[in-house]
Amino acid sequence: MNKIHVTINDKACEVEMNLSILEACKSLDIEIITMCHLDCITDVGACRLCLVEIEGINKLLPACTTKVADNMIIYTQTEKLKRYQRITTELFFAERNHVCSVCVANGKCELQKLGYKVELDHIRYPYLFPQCDVDTSHPWYVLDHNRCIMCTRCVRVCAEVEGAYNWGVMNRGSQVRIISDFNTPWGDSTTCTTCGKCVHACPTGAIWPKAIVQGQLDKKPEMINELVRKRKMKL
Amino acid sequence: MSLLDIDERILDVAALADIVKCPIVDGKDLPEVDITLVEGSVTSDEHYHEILHIRKQSKAVVALGDCAVMTNITGMRNYFNLKDVVDTAYVDAISNDKSGNIPNDPALLKLNEKVVPLQEVIDVDFVIPGCPPDADTIFYVLFEFLNDRIPNLSEVKKLKYG
């Protein structure tokens, strides 16, 4: 196994080649905050929470989509990064309508946990309060755009693990939306297999089963990881 | 009124501070005070003037609860036009008297187009999020302030929304 030398937070470390910075940090028990990352599916660098500072590069790079290189000097815990993480989290809250007290995911939400981690007590930016649709057309599940943070974990898990390609992304900027097929109601989808992987992959209360009431949601995103490992073992 | 959730510990607060005004105690004007806990968001002209007055009279303003900090449920009408919201309640609702009259008595407060959290109107010194805000957290913040210390919610793992 080829090993390379990197310096992470002023500590010399030896890691395997071809790992992303995120994977390398994980193997060394260095915590990096992420939202759009899910073990075993492709990383896209959507949430910008895992940004790290690398010496010699004058912009911040996402740890999940940047590979480690020999003699790389990486910082994951600087004050600048912490400030950016808090700003990013505040913008998640300000962009759509996250009303925790009426949300099915209340108390079990990754966005809430992220807020606590980055010490977010209030949002300094004006709320956009967009009018977002709620798609209840599926017989079992609901898609609530108000609570979506566009991590695209549902899109990737549907394409890569289930192979159904039901979910997609349309528009840009604040108009960006997750869509089922060609922007048709989820219930009319000809590709959805109703497997429920997107429900478990979703970090917030944006996709949830109808049989659930406020604060009762219990998601198991680690199940996706297990499924991928089991399926590969069979292959 | 989440303050009352601290139960008998309100006696510890009363030993260190005088509680001079409270919505259910009296309607007197707010005198000059050290700390004001404000619940709820700014939804109308009356709230707007009230919060400016509170800011003027208080050395420290504490936003208490998700409504004050992030508008919470009160802000859910912001996704729609104010007219649509009022019509839904007084004109289109099945339960109303079909007259279509919208109450406009001068004694009633006038709703603003958008609901905003306190920090968009005034400088807020401290926030306690939570719906409802946790009683232990309220007591912790008050006790720290009354003993001349600055509380830190994330340090004591008391941050909570929803």
- Supply B24's token pair: 């259910």
SS3 label, residue A27: helix
Q: Supply the ipTM of this predicted assembly.
A: 0.89
Q: What is the pLDDT of residues B97-128, one digit of tens each?
A: 778 788 889 889 899 999 999 999 999 999 99
pLDDT of residue B76: 94
B37 touches chain A (CB under 8 A): no
The pLDDT of A128-152, averaged and rounded, is 96
Comparing alpha-carbon positions, the chain A residue that sits nearest to B132 is A101
- Encode pLDDT of A158-181 as tens digits: 999 999 999 999 999 999 999 999
CA A117 to each of CA A32, A71, A113, A121, A166: distance values in angstroms, whole numbers, following the listed order = 11, 30, 6, 11, 33
Is cis: bond before A139, omega within 30 of 0? Answer: no
Per-residue pLDDT band for A1 (boundaries 50, 70, 90) equals low
Q: Is A121 on the interface with B (CB under 8 A)?
A: yes
Cα separation, B42 vs B111, in Å, equals 9
Q: Mutate one of A122, A131, A144 to test the B interface: name it (highest B CB count within 10 A).
A: A122
A:B CB pairs within 8 Å: 68
d(CA B70, CA A98): 9
In chain B, residues with a C-beta closer than 8 Å to the C-beta of A121 are 69, 127, 129, 153-154, 159
Q: Is the pTM of this model over 0.90?
A: yes
Assess B120–A contact: CB distance below 8 Å, yes or no.
yes
Which residues in chain A have Cβ-Cβ distances shorter than 8 Å to B160?
116
Angstroms from A54 CA to nearest CA on chain B: 28
Structure tokens at A35: 């939202």
Q: How far apart are the first and last CA of chain B?
A: 17
CA distance A16 to A25: 11
